């Protein structure tokens, strides 16, 4: 119990420490250039008036932070450069930096103090993807020391984050020292994600468990998410903004789908109710549906595709919480690995959903926490998979041991501990090849009298003493066929003597081990010696039949003796018994 509590406390400490490290990183600005301006005021309205006429008409600017009306066709942001007239500044902004969220068109107007204007316009597909953090860049009209305002008109914005992360900068994203460090971290994270890919494939070949395939899918989606949002894809392929956006949405939705299916199959049987497992599977279907709708960017849906995606994702958060709570209450071991990996991702998802639906909050991706969550999820889930692998392997080994034990018990005589016919006959050809060339059939003389006179308990004790007298070793295999009948398989150069020595030891051993017997227990034996080469096809049953004939001769000759025969070939003995060599006790 104490070890479990320590383990769980360690889990929560790791998760909370990670959250404490990542939350400040998530709150840091995305661009750290020497000259950055952010939107101060905005005005919304129809797009049928040119941007120049709108700014000249002196509209009523709304300077309340984060208050953007997405229902309007166009929103115009005003940024003040804030330099003294004629100031020469090498760090004047040259680029518009924004978050790669859907919009139709952006028009940028630079206005100087003397009223002169310069404009540039871009569609969503014309802006340039930047790195990291899923941003884009667009060149500004010429900005000089006389420029006072920069106006940015955004048409068809689907999310508030389009405006929240708009800024002017003097350098492209990814060039600042902090951002280069972030890119290095993300590159290392990609390497961490790639390691479980090979592990999952290797483990699946052994375990054949579906949760390994779902974790493989989860890792692939997480890798795609990092590669796309960090901009690493630019080293391999050119993507338009539409393609980039679709890839990001699909990979993020794929992570949700894979996580739900992974949990449904990973949590141990009996530790999660069937209803909860079905809920996870239906949740995965729902997440796949909203992902496809959002990724398709259906123009008629406008911002409602984003609303559907965020609302649908919000529905998954309480589902995951209920699953974790239910599995914890049921004593699941696997869920603690999930809890480690999911806690930062759960917090990042909550931050995204809450900031999306609360207008007073600046919309955030919480990417610092999200990236940390992916790293922790990879480590925790890899440990969980390895733990499950060891558990399944241990269970498999135990099952194999039980099967072997059952097989051994089925091949073993429970009274004497000797092998039975089932333990020898299937391997008879193999034993012949190992040199066991002598077959001896031993039967106790008048054993029925022992049972009738002293009872079956004494009879059983006699049989146990006989088994000890037969002394099986590496050159002598002994088995009990049933009743008072035994078989010896022998190898070596003096098998006649070894077999006869054991037969003649039976009276002495039984007399010493079983007190109260009124007579010696003797045995008769029929022995066949086969050639070392030849007659390999002779079966156990054929030898048994011939040894039984020799045993019958020993019984007919007065019992307590052995009849030997060296086998060269089977002559035709129909209608007659051929006497063998007799040795009396």
**570/287: higher pLDDT:** 287
Residue 20 binned pLDDT confidence (cut-offs 50, 70, 90): very low
Structurally, the chain folds into a number of domains equal to 3
Q: In terms of domains, do 383 and 479 share one? A: no
Is residue 101 helix, strand or coil?
A: coil
Given a cut of 70, is residue 546 above it in pLDDT?
yes
Residue 176 belongs to some domain of the structure: no
What pLDDT score does 133 carry?
64
What pLDDT score does 559 carry?
92
Residue 93 binned pLDDT confidence (cut-offs 50, 70, 90): confident
What pLDDT score does 518 carry?
86
Bridge partners (DSSP) listed for residue 79: 150
Residue 497: which region, alpha, beta or left (left: phi > 0; alpha: psi -120 to 50)? alpha
Measure the CA–CA gap between 283 and 280, rounded to whole angstroms: 5
Residue 37 binned pLDDT confidence (cut-offs 50, 70, 90): low
Is residue 125 helix, strand or coil?
A: coil
Angle at which helix 367-410 crosses helix 177-207, to 10 degrees, equals 20
Is residue 570 helix, strand or coil?
A: coil
Q: In terms of domains, do 261 and 186 share one? A: yes
Q: In terms of domains, do 296 and 227 share one? A: yes
Measure the CA–CA gap between 503 and 485, rounded to whole angstroms: 12
Q: In terms of domains, do 107 and 128 share one? A: yes
Among candidate residues 564, 218, 138, 585, the one with its CA nearest the CA of residue 382: 218
Q: What is the mean pLDDT of residues 457-479?
A: 92
Among 211-220, 510-519, 538-547, 568-577, the minimum mean pLDDT is found in 568-577
Question: For all residues of the chain together, what is the average pLDDT?
Answer: 80
Give tens-digit pLDDT for 407-419: 655 678 888 888 8
Residue 161 belongs to some domain of the structure: yes
Among 2-11, 60-69, 81-90, 145-154, the minimum mean pLDDT is found in 2-11
Q: In terms of domains, do 321 and 434 share one? A: no
Residue 235 belongs to some domain of the structure: yes
Measure the CA–CA gap between 361 and 309, rounded to whole angstroms: 19
Q: In terms of domains, do 162 and 208 share one? A: no
Given a cut of 70, is residue 249 above it in pLDDT?
yes
Given a cut of 90, is residue 398 above it in pLDDT?
no
Residue 465 binned pLDDT confidence (cut-offs 50, 70, 90): very high
Residue 411 belongs to some domain of the structure: no
Please give the backbone phi and psi of residue 141, each rounded to the nearest 5 degrees, phi first: -60, 165
| CATH code for the domain in which residue 477 is found | 3.30.70.270
Q: In terms of domains, do 227 and 301 share one? A: yes
Q: In terms of domains, do 21 and 44 share one? A: no
Between the alpha carbon of residue 61 and those of residues 51, 68, 165, the distances in Å are: 14, 11, 19
Most confident range (mean pLDDT) of 272-276, 523-527, 541-545 is 523-527
Q: What is the mean pLDDT of residues 166-172?
A: 81
| CATH code for the domain in which residue 206 is found | 1.20.1070.10
What pLDDT score does 539 carry?
86
Please give the helix or strand (H or E) that residue 289 lies within, else none. helix 274-296
Q: In terms of domains, do 157 and 83 share one? A: yes
Residue 492: which region, alpha, beta or left (left: phi > 0; alpha: psi -120 to 50)? left
Between the alpha carbon of residue 289 and those of residues 257, 286, 308, 322, 460, the distances in Å are: 10, 5, 10, 22, 73
Please give the backbone phi and psi of residue 520, each rounded to the nearest 5 degrees, phi first: -75, 145
Bridge partners (DSSP) listed for residue 314: none
Cβ–Cβ contacts within 10 Å for residue 225, how many?
23
What pLDDT score does 378 carry?
76
Domain end, chosen from 139, 169, 199, is at 169
Residue 11 binned pLDDT confidence (cut-offs 50, 70, 90): low
Domain end, chosen from 169, 198, 223, is at 169
Residue 178 binned pLDDT confidence (cut-offs 50, 70, 90): low
Bridge partners (DSSP) listed for residue 525: 442, 562
| CATH code for the domain in which residue 77 is found | 2.60.40.2380
Beta carbons of 461 and 514 less than 8 angstroms apart: yes
The pLDDT > 90 percentage for the chain reads: 20
What pLDDT score does 31 carry?
43
Given a cut of 90, is residue 527 above it in pLDDT?
yes
What pLDDT score does 84 carry?
55
Residue 509 belongs to some domain of the structure: yes
User: How is 437-489 classified by DSSP, letter by letter?
Assistant: -EEEEEEETTHHHHHHHH-HHHHHHHHHHHHHHH--BTTEEEEEEETTEEEEE
Please give the backbone phi and psi of residue 111, each rounded to the nearest 5 degrees, phi first: -115, 125
Give tens-digit pLDDT for 306-348: 888 888 888 888 998 899 899 988 888 888 888 888 888 888 8
Q: In terms of domains, do 448 and 328 share one? A: no
Residue 410 belongs to some domain of the structure: no
Bridge partners (DSSP) listed for residue 443: 485, 524
Residue 278 belongs to some domain of the structure: yes
This prediction's pTM? 0.58
DSSP label of 419: B
Domain end, chosen from 398, 430, 456, is at 398
Among 207-216, 388-397, 446-455, the minimum mean pLDDT is found in 388-397
What pLDDT score does 464 carry?
93
Q: In terms of domains, do 216 and 302 share one? A: yes
Parent domain of 228: 2-28+181-398
Q: In terms of domains, do 88 and 157 share one? A: yes
What pLDDT score does 22 carry?
44
Residue 173 binned pLDDT confidence (cut-offs 50, 70, 90): low
**264/31: higher pLDDT:** 264
Among candidate residues 6, 125, 107, 116, the one with its CA nearest the CA of residue 49: 107
The pLDDT > 70 percentage for the chain reads: 83
Residue 152 belongs to some domain of the structure: yes
Given a cut of 60, is residue 223 above it in pLDDT?
yes
């Amino acid at each position: 119990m104490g070890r479990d509590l320590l383990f769980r406390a360690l889990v929560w400490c790791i998760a909370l420490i990670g959250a404490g490290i990542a939350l400040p990183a998530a709150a840091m600005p995305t661009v750290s250039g020497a000259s950055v301006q952010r939107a101060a005021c905005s005005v919304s309205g129809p797009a049928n008036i040119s941007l120049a006429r709108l700014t000249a008409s002196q509209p009523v600017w709304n300077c309340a932070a984060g208050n953007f009306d997405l229902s309007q066709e166009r929103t115009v942001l005003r940024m003040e450069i804030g330099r003294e007239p004629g100031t020469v500044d090498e760090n004047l902004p040259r680029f518009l930096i924004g978050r790669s969220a859907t919009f139709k068109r952006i028009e940028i107007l630079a206005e100087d103090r003397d009223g002169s204007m310069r404009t540039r316009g871009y569609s969503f597909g014309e802006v340039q993807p930047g790195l990291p953090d899923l941003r884009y860049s667009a060149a500004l009209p010429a900005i000089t020391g006389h420029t006072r305002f920069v106006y940015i008109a955004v048409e068809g914005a689907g999310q508030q984050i389009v405006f929240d992360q708009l800024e002017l900068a003097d350098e492209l994203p990814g060039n600042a020292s902090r951002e280069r460090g972030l890119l290095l971290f993300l590159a290392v994270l990609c390497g961490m994600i790639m390691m479980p890919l090979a592990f999952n494939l290797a483990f699946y070949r052994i375990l054949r468990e579906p949760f390994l395939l779902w974790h493989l899918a989860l890792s692939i989606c997480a890798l795609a998410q990092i590669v796309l949002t960090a901009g690493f894809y630019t080293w391999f392929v050119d993507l338009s903004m539409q393609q980039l956006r679709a890839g990001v949405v699909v990979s993020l939705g794929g992570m949700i789908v894979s996580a739900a299916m992974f949990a449904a199959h990973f949590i141990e049987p009996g530790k999660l109710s069937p209803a909860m497992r079905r809920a996870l599977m239906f949740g995965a279907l729902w997440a796949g549906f909203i992902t496809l709708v959002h990724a398709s960017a259906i123009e008629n849906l406008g911002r409602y595709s984003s609303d559907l995606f965020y609302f649908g994702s919000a529905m998954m958060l309480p589902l995951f919480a209920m699953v974790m709570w239910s599995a914890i209450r049921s004593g699941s071991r696997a869920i603690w690995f999930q809890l480690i990996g999911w806690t930062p991702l759960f917090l990042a998802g909550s931050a995204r959903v809450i900031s999306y639906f609360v207008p007073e909050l600046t919309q955030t991706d919480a990417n610092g926490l999200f990236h940390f969550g992916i790293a922790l999820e990879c480590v925790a889930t890899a440990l969980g998979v390895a733990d499950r692998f060891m558990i399944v392997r241990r269970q498999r080994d135990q099952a194999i041991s039980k099967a072997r034990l059952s097989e051994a018990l089925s091949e073993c005589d429970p009274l004497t501990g000797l092998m039975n016919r089932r333990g020898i006959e299937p391997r008879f050809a193999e034993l012949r090849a190992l040199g066991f060339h002598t077959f001896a059939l031993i039967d106790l003389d008048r054993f029925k009298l022992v049972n009738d006179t002293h009872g079956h308990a004494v009879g059983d004790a006699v049989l146990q003493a006989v088994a000890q007298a037969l002394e099986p070793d590496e050159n002598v295999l002994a088995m009990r066929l049933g009743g008072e009948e035994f078989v010896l398989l022998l190898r070596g150069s003096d098998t006649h003597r070894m077999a006869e020595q054991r037969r003649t030891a039976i009276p002495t051993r039984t007399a010493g081990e079983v007190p109260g017997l009124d007579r010696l227990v003797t045995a008769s034996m029929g022995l066949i010696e086969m050639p070392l080469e030849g007659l390999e096809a002779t079966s156990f049953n054929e030898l048994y039949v011939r040894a039984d004939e020799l045993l019958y001769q020993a019984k007919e000759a007065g019992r307590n003796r052995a009849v030997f025969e060296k086998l060269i070939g089977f002559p035709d003995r129909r209608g007659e018994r051929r006497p063998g060599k007799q040795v009396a006790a």
